[in-house]
Chains A and B, each alone.
Chain A
């Protein structure tokens, strides 16, 4: 038998370092002790969850998905259905089945069910979509997002259509969001080092040779799609508890663009890239927000005109991608000693 260390031992450093990084961010929020900053941290952890969820599919399969925020929408509404007080559901969403109106679960239990609900729909959509490749697959995922958005924007009795669904219990402490972000990182790592993850990454780079190696590409893509859809749904559930209100358009083009750009800027070829992309761009967004709000220097206040945030963010992204087309992390993962090759299953030394 092989004397090579197990894949888990060789690569465990990556999720551990990323988790420590997230914990460090959380501790900064605690030390700062301000409520708005707390909310900023919650937003960051939510983005980490979503971008890592996106990475599970996009990073490993190489297929850009414009549709994943649809699963976040499914998760967010599922969490709303499961956690709102029955009285409010009766008034706002009378079309829900009786049992669903009557039920009121704790947020964490609802979040798990919301993740499974999103994963179920990922399996349904994925069964059809995963036979497609390249731009056709990407456009099809976008069509899926549009379909989900259209259904949720019009099914008045069940989703409240375009009006806000209020009354979702708000969770203000940062810890559940931190835990979910870390769970997402470990799920992504677990998938990446699994047989399914290894096969999918091989197929990403050489689909023809992968088929000739016995790999059933649509099946491996479907597995990643379902896992990734589940993580997106989990993120959606927590998202709904972070603001206490959901509308279909919260989970549409804006969030799709934000999460995809964070993944691309971080480096979609690596899990570390997914997390680093969120942390770097979120920090930048926060700094620009402060500057827009105005910073006092002595007696005068320096403030950037409104709208500079979006422009500056766009410029920074273009500059990063111009100099590092494969993102900040390129194809590397964080490791105790040094960056190593992107494949969490790889152990070789580049020469």
Chain B
């Protein structure tokens, strides 16, 4: 079966263990959530899964093939895409060129890359932004362009690093709708890293909770919602608080 897996992934540097034997699996058509307090190691795990950080132990595999030794561009070409906190768009380029560059980076001709970019902008719902310079976009549009860019070449898996950060409730709803379509219509396996716990609980089929570099809980939203360990990790105490309140605490 197709899957992107982290198997006992460990990352240690300078005596600090950022990740400790983390297991995680992303499967096509499903949305997996990755949550945890600040410094839990969420972004480090995304970096490991996409080749930006080499694990010091364990392995990342894609459909059984070890990806751990590959460079980030090679991982992307294998069909594992990601977005970044803060967008990281090519700010001086128009929106369409941001997507075109990725098409070209994946080996397409310029004409084919532009055609796919136009199609993708329409699919994400931002076709009117095509000729805007990326650096001039409002924050939420930047996020959508970043997602469109990650979807170029129809990757099997896409890792979204805090896509809802800074969004209003309505914007977050629209994003949730888009993420559902990415998994449902496109059949992508989605890993959603998000501080907005409410959004993760609402969207995800499966949730993994990290704290201090280790998985402390994994399960469906109901299980996570009821987990004492998760509550403790967020609150620092086993307070009698329902999880969505955490959203306010962040």
Residue from the list A7, A210, A341 in contact with B133, Cβ < 8 A: A341
Does A345 interact with chain B (Cβ within 8 Å)?
yes
Residue from the list A2, A4, A213 in contact with B101, Cβ < 8 A: A213
Residue from the list A4, A212, A342 in contact with B114, Cβ < 8 A: A4
Does B218 interact with chain A (Cβ within 8 Å)?
no
Residues facing B in A165-224 (CB within 8 A) are 195, 198-199, 202, 205-206, 208-217
Check A212–B50 contact: CB distance below 8 A. yes
Residues of the A chain whose Cβ atoms lie less than 8 Å from the Cβ of B105: 199, 202, 210, 213-215
Residue from the list B84, B90, B114, B133 in contact with A202, Cβ < 8 A: B90
Interface centre among A209, A212, A331, A349 (most CB of B within 10 A): A212
Residues facing B in A1-35 (CB within 8 A) are 1-2, 4, 7
Bound Cα distance A350, B97 (Å):
14
Bound Cα distance A212, B161 (Å):
13
Residues of the A chain whose Cβ atoms lie less than 8 Å from the Cβ of B102: 213-214
Check B111–A210 contact: CB distance below 8 A. no
Does A318 interact with chain B (Cβ within 8 Å)?
no
Interface centre among B105, B111, B131 (most CB of A within 10 A): B105
Check B77–A2 contact: CB distance below 8 A. no
Q: Given A212-B81, A348-B132, do A2 and B153 touch, yes or no (CB 8 Å)?
A: no
Bound Cα distance A1, B119 (Å):
9
Does A346 interact with chain B (Cβ within 8 Å)?
yes
Check B97–A343 contact: CB distance below 8 A. yes
Check A212–B91 contact: CB distance below 8 A. no
Does A351 interact with chain B (Cβ within 8 Å)?
yes
How many residues does chain A have at the interface if contact means C-beta atoms less than 8 Å apart?
31
Query: What's the minimum C-beta distance from A6 to chain B, rounded to whole angstroms?
Result: 8
Instruction: Report B150-190 CB contacts with A as 1/0, cut-off 8 Å.
Output: 10110000000000000000000000000000000000000
Q: Which chain B residue shows the least CB distance to A214?
A: B105
Bound Cα distance A248, B98 (Å):
44
Residues of the A chain whose Cβ atoms lie less than 8 Å from the Cβ of B150: 212
Bound Cα distance A350, B137 (Å):
11
Bound Cα distance A216, B104 (Å):
11
Query: What's the minimum C-beta distance from A335 to chain B, rounded to whole angstroms?
Result: 16
Query: Interface of chain A, helix or strand or loop or mixed?
Result: loop
Bound Cα distance A302, B191 (Å):
75
Bound Cα distance A216, B106 (Å):
10
Residues of the A chain whose Cβ atoms lie less than 8 Å from the Cβ of B91: 205-206
Bound Cα distance A217, B94 (Å):
21
Does B23 interact with chain A (Cβ within 8 Å)?
no
Query: What's the minimum C-beta distance from A343 to chain B, rounded to whole angstroms?
Result: 6
Query: What's the minimum C-beta distance from A88 to chain B, rounded to whole angstroms?
Result: 49
Does B220 interact with chain A (Cβ within 8 Å)?
no
Instruction: Report B66-92 CB contacts with A as 1/0, cut-off 8 Å.
Output: 000001111011000110100011111
Q: Which chain A residue shows the least CB distance to B153?
A: A214
Residue from the list B52, B77, B115 in contact with A214, Cβ < 8 A: B77
Does A347 interact with chain B (Cβ within 8 Å)?
yes
Q: Which chain B residue shows the least CB distance to A7?
A: B110
Check B76–A347 contact: CB distance below 8 A. no
Check A346–B76 contact: CB distance below 8 A. no
Check B106–A214 contact: CB distance below 8 A. yes
Residues facing A in B83-131 (CB within 8 A) are 84, 88-98, 100-102, 104-107, 109-111, 114-115, 118, 131
Please name 9 further chain A to chain B contacts, defined as beta carbons within 8 Å, in addition to the given A199-B104, A202-B98, A205-B90, sorted by A numbering.
A195-B104, A198-B110, A202-B97, A206-B91, A208-B88, A210-B105, A211-B52, A212-B88, A213-B149
Question: Can you list 22 A-B pairs with a CB-CB distance of less than 8 A?
Answer: A2-B114, A195-B104, A198-B104, A202-B98, A202-B101, A206-B91, A208-B72, A209-B90, A212-B52, A212-B73, A212-B88, A213-B102, A214-B73, A215-B101, A217-B73, A343-B92, A345-B93, A346-B133, A347-B94, A348-B131, A349-B131, A350-B136
Which A residues contact B (CB, under 8 angstroms)? 1-2, 4, 7, 195, 198-199, 202, 205-206, 208-217, 331, 341-343, 345-351
> Which 7 pairs across A and B sit closest by C-beta, in order of nearness?
A348-B94, A214-B105, A211-B72, A213-B102, A209-B88, A215-B105, A214-B76
